């Protein structure tokens, strides 16, 4: 990993599924869950995205913004969101600039390279508080909620 816990998170400027550019600095004062996933509309990625969407109101009540991130383009993200009625913003990094800067590794599968499932927890001051690697999408949103309880209140 290039990013280390305790460092200021990289300020990004990336479009979401609606083509609206989002910046970390605009989320100041809110904790951010940034979950990296390999590919829109694949089994594990769908589980993760739907689970975070189902809990999005709970995250918002806690002052937490949930963002997905992959190398898929804006049109793919839009289609993915529409298909599953996703409630979280999905950021597009087709050139992998942020993904590379964060040190997210890649895995080859059936001749294609995919970004590894990784989650970053960022506090309201923009500091990286926790990194999850080799994420299992089943129940990951609950794991994140539990960690936020400890980090925000402990």
**Active site residues per annotation:** 45
CA quadruple 9, 119, 101, 93: dihedral, nearest 10: -110
Instruction: Give the CA diameter of the chain.
Output: 44
Distance CA 138, CA 28 (A): 29
């Amino acid at each position: 990993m290039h990013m280390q816990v305790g460092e200021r998170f990289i300020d990004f400027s990336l479009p979401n599924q609606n083509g609206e550019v989002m910046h970390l600095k605009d989320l100041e004062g809110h904790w951010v869950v940034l979950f990296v996933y390999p590919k829109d509309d694949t089994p594990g990625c769908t589980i993760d995205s739907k689970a975070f969407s189902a809990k999005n109101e709970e995250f918002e009540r806690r002052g937490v913004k949930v963002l997905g991130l992959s190398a898929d383009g804006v049109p793919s993200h839009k289609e993915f969101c529409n298909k599953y009625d996703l409630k979280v913003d999905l950021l597009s990094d087709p050139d992998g600039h942020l993904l590379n800067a964060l040190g997210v590794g890649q895995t080859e599968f059936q001749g294609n390279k995919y970004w590894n499932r990784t989650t970053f927890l960022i506090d309201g001051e923009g500091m990286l508080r926790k990194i999850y690697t080799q994420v299992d999408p089943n129940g990951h949103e609950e794991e994140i909620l539990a960690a936020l309880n400890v980090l925000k209140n402990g």
